[in-house]
Chain A
Amino acid sequence: MSSCRKRCKREILKFAQYLFRVITGTLNPDSIEDELELSAVRHRPEALEQLEAQTRFSRKELQILYRGFKNECPSGVVNEDTFKEIYAQFFPQGDASTYAHFLFNAFDTDHNGSVSFEDFVMGLSILLRGSVQEKLNWAFNLYDINKDGYITKEEMLDIIKSIYDMMGKCTYPILKEETPRQHVEIFFQKMDKNRDGVVTIDEFIDCCQNDENIMRSMQLFENVI
């Protein structure tokens, strides 16, 4: 009861103040909404020596990488939208945003919503200079969307659909509805040895190591930098 009365009193006081202000015509002070300036997210990467130690790139390569990275993202971090934009420029005919989303999650190892130069260079170090085991590990991590250690058919279907989305509409032969699904079936037939409907990391690595084509294609991008 007393709290109610207190509240009523407060309200009446506020109303009286408002009326007073209206009658005497004081102008409202400038609202303080815009005080918080958009705090510019800035990120400075670790020193060159540390990165050299952590990754398998040489000093010169790191320099080239950083120059390109900083050119496109002056603030030092990439957020998902910029990432999608950049990736979409390489695939003008199709829609690369879904695959870019998965890629972003694969690069963003600490899941803070942005990819810093360290994340970027660590990922690249695995992809370009890592052992086959590490590369396959990375690929498995990419396919495992919820990072639970198993690739389910739904996750694989999402990945494959996103790859097909990058092709766009104008393809030969014409993309049909069930093509991604068939692709997933083929993949699971190959990879899922114990037919339990999911692919674990061991099954994946085993199967890839036995497949010549995949092994050969892993070495494809060695000299990209």
Chain B
Amino acid sequence: MAAGVAAWLPFARAAAIGWMPVASAPMPPPPRDKKRGQDGLIILNVSGTRFQTWRNTLERYPDTLLGSTERDFFFHEETNEYFFDRDPDIFRHILNFYRTGKLHYPRHECISAYDEELAFFGIIPEIIGDCCYEEYKDRRRENAERIQDDEENDNNNDLVMPDLSFRESMWRAFENPHTSTMALVFYYVTGFFIAVSVMANVVETVPCGISLNRAKELSCGERYALAFFCLDTACVMIFTVEYLLRLIAAPSRYKFVKSVMSIIDVVAIMPYYIGLVMTDNEDVSGAFVTLRVFRVFRIFKFSRHSAGLRILGYTLKSCASELGFLLFSLTMAIIIFATVMFYAEKGSSASKFTSIPAAFWYTIVTMTTLGYGDMVPKTIMGKIFGSICSLSGVLVIALPVPVIVSNFSRIYHQSQRAEKRRAQKKTRLARIRAAKSGGANAYLQYKRNGMLVDMEEEASKEAGQALVCKANPTFETQHHHLLHCLEKTTNHEFVDEQTYETSCMEVSLAKPSMSRSSSMSSSPHGLSSCCTRRNKRKSFNVPNSNMAGGRRGSIQELSTIQIRERPLSNSRSSLNAKFEETVPLNSEEPSYITAAVISMPTPPVTTPEGVDLASSHDFLQSNIVRVSAL
């Protein structure tokens, strides 16, 4: 609870007078104000800088150093002040926490110094206010990473790692090539072969001289077919071996197979094997030639060797929506201008703008200011629109490009921060929930211990024994008294979640036994909504009891009647069968009844007196018939 709100507790207690006339039970006695008029100034001397504050301010947080008796250890008799040999600059923030209830983190302070001070004064960092919490967490993580990086570097420099299995060391060699010389050799060899393979692909297609048999230029690939084939085989063998080794060494094979790099590896080597398998059939070799295109994907294998490529790939992936939007707007503009050009040029003879899709090419070439000149408008209107097209092309293309470039860095950082914030949001919600339940739990705890100890306290006050309970500050006891008054007003007690749920169960369990008694005076219990969920689990072993009079509209009621119904309806086997089919849940017990019960609305409880037994019976019966006709 915020400390500032503590000042409003007297107001809340005074406002409790509003409950008095409607209270169902007499109020508990107020707590005795143990300390009165003790609100004096305390001097805190932190390394020479004197801070002063009210005693009550410090005692708002009794589980910290300053708020508890721990500060007495630092009391300096000669100067009648509390002396702390700590940093006064950081102490300022700690004292502000007591004053305002919010802990702030100064950005210019070192995070570890701040953490040390917090630990010294017994304040948990989780209560840092929302304004500074993100910064605090970021700095903390940065620091932790830095320390961790240092440790890792130290570790990596040790060449001796005796405890890794062969598989793990292999994986480590693959991932961090600089760990051992073998890994480095492997790294460079694969890099070399990737380069060789890509170069071979390129050189294959260069014209290499004229064959004497045919008057046609031969490409190098056709001329030195065997050499290229051997080179290709060697490269593919190396790649295959590398892939298999990585597959064996991977700690999670499934994850490895799913990863992008392994897919690239597979795509790079597949064409070769497919080519081996396929015969020299004329039809198929056309498709085979197309497959060879995929060999160019080997160049992507370089991304294992270059961090820059990886970052580029990642940023492209994260900018995908921006790029997509750019493409979309371009497409819109292209369609618009192509249509306009087509209709503008429709009149002219021998126009190249034969259809709108044909005009797409002109529009793209014009908008990107390429201007090949293979398609040119001839009419005046066409030229006017053509010029508008090229001008707008400059705008449409030139404007978003710098934006996208700046988006790269922004989106990259933003996605990182969004992840952080999402993770922090979870912890922050958990904090708020914990604080709330902490407040409630404190009261329940007080009820269990405090109530009893209060009596003892009065009894032993004469004996002058210092009780442990006295450590409870005035504020807490007063707050608990307030909650106690509320309980008395409404004649209900606060309980925690578990007790509440068990009592729910008890209520629902008590139903069958209570249904036997036909006492109308007993206050009827409509089942609260939570209990209907609980009911699913119960097995209804209620015998064929007579329907309790006066039970109005409880769902339990219906279920008892239905149970009675069931044995009678054996003849309607078709309906039974249908019943069973509609139930997907709880197959261990015949709880189809429950399923039907839940789907039914509770008959409204309106008349407080005199339920017509017969009519309600009919009503309920009719309901059952409807249910069984499901």
Contacts and interface: CB of A to CB of B under 8 A. Distances in A.
B23 A127 contact: no
B276 to A, nearest CB: 67
A198 interface: no
Contacts of A175: 492, 528
Contact of B1 (A89, A178, A216): A89
Interface in B1-58: 1-2, 4-24, 26-27, 29-30, 33, 39
A175 B487 CA distance: 12
Contacts of A71: 4, 7, 99-100
Interface in A150-169: 156, 159-160, 163-164, 166-169
Interface string B493-521: 11111011001100100000000000000
A90 B17 contact: no
Given A167-B494, A172-B500, A172-B503, A159 B22 contact: yes
B17 A171 contact: no
Instruction: Report which residue of B18, B21, B23, B525 has the largest number of chain A beta carbons within 10 angstroms of its beta carbon.
Output: B21
Interface in A63-116: 64-65, 67-69, 71-72, 86-87, 89-93, 102-103, 106
Given A68-B8, A170-B497, A218-B20, A177 B14 contact: no
A4 to B, nearest CB: 38
Contact of A171 (B21, B437, B485, B495): B495
Contact of B11 (A120, A173, A183, A204): A120
Given A170-B496, A176-B528, A224 B14 contact: yes
Contacts of A186: 24
Contacts of A127: 14-15, 17
B490 interface: yes
Interface string A185-225: 01100000000000000001000100001101110110111
Interface residues of A, number: 62
A6 to B, nearest CB: 38
A167 B485 CA distance: 11
A174 B493 contact: no
A142 to B, nearest CB: 5
B489 interface: yes
Contact of A87 (B12, B495, B525): B12
A55 to B, nearest CB: 13
Given A71-B7, A220-B30, A93 B494 contact: yes
A91 B485 CA distance: 12
Contact of B2 (A89, A214, A218): A89
Interface string B395-421: 000000000000000000000000000
B526 interface: yes
Contacts of B14: 123-124, 127-128, 221, 224
B98 to A, nearest CB: 12
A-B residue pairs, 3 tightest by C-beta: A68-B7, A127-B14, A170-B500
